Amino acid sequence: MVIMESCAFEIAQQVQRGELSAVEVLETALARVAAVDGRPGALDYGELTDEDQDKVHAFITLTADRARQQAESIDARVRAGEAVGPLAGVPITVKDIFCLKGVPATAASRILANFSPPYTATPVARLEEAGAVTLGKVNLDEFTYGSSSESSAFQPSTRNPWDPSRVPGGSSGGSAAAVAAGEGWLSLGTDTGGSIRQPAAFCGVVGLKPTYGRVSRYGLIAFGSSLDCPGPLARNVRDAALMLSVMAGADPRDSTAATVPVPDYVASIDQGVKGMRIGLSPDYLRIAFPDPNTGEIQTADLEKEIYEVTLRAADVMAAQGAEIVENVPLPNIAYGIPVYFVISRVEASSNLHRFDGVKYGYRTQAAYADLHEMYRKTRAEGFGLEPKLRILMGMYVSAAQYSEQYYQRALSVRSMIRADFTAAFDPQGDYRLDALLAPTTPTPAFKMADIYGDTVLMQYADQLTVPANHAGVPAISIPGGLSSEGLPIGLQLIGPDFAEETLFKAGYAFEIATADEAWRGVKPRVLGEAGL
Ligand code: GLN
């Protein structure tokens, strides 16, 4: 299928030139959704059937009629000789944590199941202004709290297209699975502790967490406001670069959106890695976990296949002219997860206060004697387990008597993590890195239900992604190879503030250098089984 094989960049160019109609592209994407997705996530989903187990279930809300209107209007504009944007006619999906006017924004939670926002998030508006056609809203962990997408109140939760008995990762699991399965070319996700990069790695797609503030958070339902970053998921590096070019930049509606000019990421993408200093750190080549008896952080070797994929990528980049700098110390990243546990829960509990049954969303149907009882019942019935756990922990570690011991300490260690990166990237320092190369995840995609329920273990799935969130620096995950079980393994490139351009160049160079390798031709299993 020619349309399916084209990337977003090519589709937009053909639509702009009138060689391909946006409606035709959309119908191809909708046919793919019909073939692989199965029923959308729902609150009252009943029993799961055998057929449910083999489908992707990326969607919560499909907006096919709205998409048809968008596509028709793009085709009409092309016919009238009007200019259309750089994403003209490209079908995209949006993680259901962003607002899109008049379309439900559930955050995968019962408490927002009936919420239809009166405005559109800035990154979504910019994508649509650039001509992107929104297929619908895709599933995630409830309020983005998780690494497997299983905690969604809307079931069946998303499956991994490479093996539907495995999770797609999370929390942007619906986004990554949709892109991997060809249900739209691009997806808008969010990354607070790894939620774009970890699912991108699990599903064999590209995902970028931009520099904090690079993309506006206006219209994003907040998790951790000092960590949240909207970002692109795409099939290849150039499409991710194109998508970021459209979304990034200052926004009068978000004062934390950076005013740093946005480069044309696509124009420079093929400049290669020659002369780049790319670092390897022993601290990213091992895993860290708390000793259950003492609570002290222990370290252990990385899984062999993950280690080998990472080192091989360093060889590939060296062969392209990069200088590999070994033994870059980042000693404080081992504390990334404990620090994240504290800071993200404090911010989550604060951000969840607004869901009280008054302003929007669910309100208890039960009888209540006074306002407080209405709040209590609404929140008890509306929130799932994970938001409740995060509220409890966030309130506890920021309470007056514990704040110094936990929250203030976590903030200090966060600064130390940031200082590790600053030293590694310092142009006058010992290492002078352009980027760091690391694995994205400690393991490939795990089986559904294997980790779900163990909050600590689930959180440790993000240990290699979370340091970049603490530091605020950009990081991209790109496919690096397949495991012996045929599961995608992700590679991460991390750069200094606003170095997205460097990450795209390096990622693209790796993609081109490995384009003809056998693993690149292997398709996700659900596509093969559907004869696609
Ligand atoms: N998995 C992490 C968490 O549970 C990260 C989530 C995210 O990045 N939104 O908090």
Domain residues for the domain of 97 are: 2-271+479-529
Question: Which atom belonging to ligand 1 lies closest to the Cα atom of 170?
Answer: 1
pLDDT recorded at residue 529: 87
For residue range 144-154, list pLDDT tens digits in order: 999 999 999 99
Using alpha carbons, select from 24, 136, 11, 120 the residue that is nearest to residue 71: 24
Helix, strand and coil percent figures for the chain, each rounded to 5: 40, 15, 45
Looking at per-residue pLDDT, the higher value among 165 and 289 belongs to 165
For residue range 454-470, list pLDDT tens digits in order: 888 888 889 999 999 99
Residue ranges with strand state E in 203-335: 206-209, 229-234, 277-279, 286-290, 297-301, 323-325
Q: Is 7 domain-assigned?
A: yes
**Nearest 5°: phi and psi at 387?**
-60, -40
Reported as a pLDDT band with limits 50, 70 and 90, residue 56 is very high
For residue range 58-103, list pLDDT tens digits in order: 999 999 999 999 999 999 999 999 999 999 999 999 999 999 999 9
The finding on whether 144 has its CB within 6 A of some atom of ligand 1 is yes
The pTM is what? 0.98
For residue 133, give the 3-state DSSP assignment.
strand
CA of 153 to the centre of ligand 1 (A): 16
Q: Is 321 domain-assigned?
A: no
**Rounded to the nearest 10 degrees, how much is the dihedral formed by the CA atoms of 66, 360, 113, 350?**
120
The finding on whether 146 has its CB within 6 A of some atom of ligand 1 is yes
For residue range 232-284, list pLDDT tens digits in order: 999 999 999 999 999 999 999 999 999 999 999 999 999 999 999 999 999 99
The finding on whether 265 has its CB within 6 A of some atom of ligand 1 is no
Q: Is 501 domain-assigned?
A: yes
Looking at per-residue pLDDT, the higher value among 291 and 423 belongs to 423
pLDDT recorded at residue 454: 87
pLDDT recorded at residue 35: 97
Looking at per-residue pLDDT, the higher value among 355 and 297 belongs to 355
Pocket test for ligand 1, best of 144, 341, 352, 466 (most atoms within 8 A of CB): 144
Structure-token match 């958070």, residue found: 217
**Distance of alpha carbon 231 from the chain centroid:** 7
pLDDT recorded at residue 292: 81
CATH number of 129's domain: 3.90.1300.10
Is the pLDDT at 1 greater than 70, yes or no?
A: no
CA of 176 to the centre of ligand 1 (A): 15
Q: Is 453 domain-assigned?
A: no
Q: Is 256 domain-assigned?
A: yes
| Catalytic (active site) residue 171 | yes
| Catalytic (active site) residue 225 | no
pLDDT above 90 as % of the chain: 93
CB 73 within 8 A of CB 23: no
- Total domain count, the chain: 1
pLDDT recorded at residue 322: 98
The finding on whether 148 has its CB within 6 A of some atom of ligand 1 is no
**Distance of alpha carbon 366 from the chain centroid:** 37
Q: Is 336 domain-assigned?
A: no
What is d(CA 108, CA 121) in angstroms, rounded to the nearest whole number?
17
Q: How far is CA 233 from CA 8, 173, 486, in A?
A: 12, 11, 21
Structure-token match 């699975």, residue found: 177
| Catalytic annotation, pick one of 6, 148, 152, 171 | 171
- Average pLDDT on 182-190 reads 98
| Catalytic (active site) residue 447 | no
Q: How buried is 263 (Cβ within 10 angstroms: 0-12 exposed, 13-18 middle, 19+ buried)?
A: middle
For residue range 315-326, list pLDDT tens digits in order: 999 999 999 999
**Rounded to the nearest 10 degrees, how much is the dihedral formed by the CA atoms of 165, 168, 174, 177?**
-90
pLDDT recorded at residue 530: 85
The mean predicted confidence, pLDDT, of the chain is 97
One-letter amino acid at 233 equals: L
Q: Is 446 domain-assigned?
A: no
Instruction: Output DSSP code: residue 221.
Output: P
Q: Is 437 domain-assigned?
A: no
CA of 231 to the centre of ligand 1 (A): 14
The finding on whether 149 has its CB within 6 A of some atom of ligand 1 is no
The finding on whether 223 has its CB within 6 A of some atom of ligand 1 is yes
Question: Of the given ranges (41-55, 193-207, 492-506), which has the lowest mean pLDDT?
Answer: 41-55
Residue ranges with strand state E in 261-391: 277-279, 286-290, 297-301, 323-325
pLDDT recorded at residue 428: 98
CA of 177 to the centre of ligand 1 (A): 17
What angle, 0 to 180 degrees and rounded to 10, lies between the N-to-C axes of helices 500-513 and 237-247? 160
**Rounded to the nearest 10 degrees, how much is the dihedral formed by the CA atoms of 385, 388, 393, 394?**
140
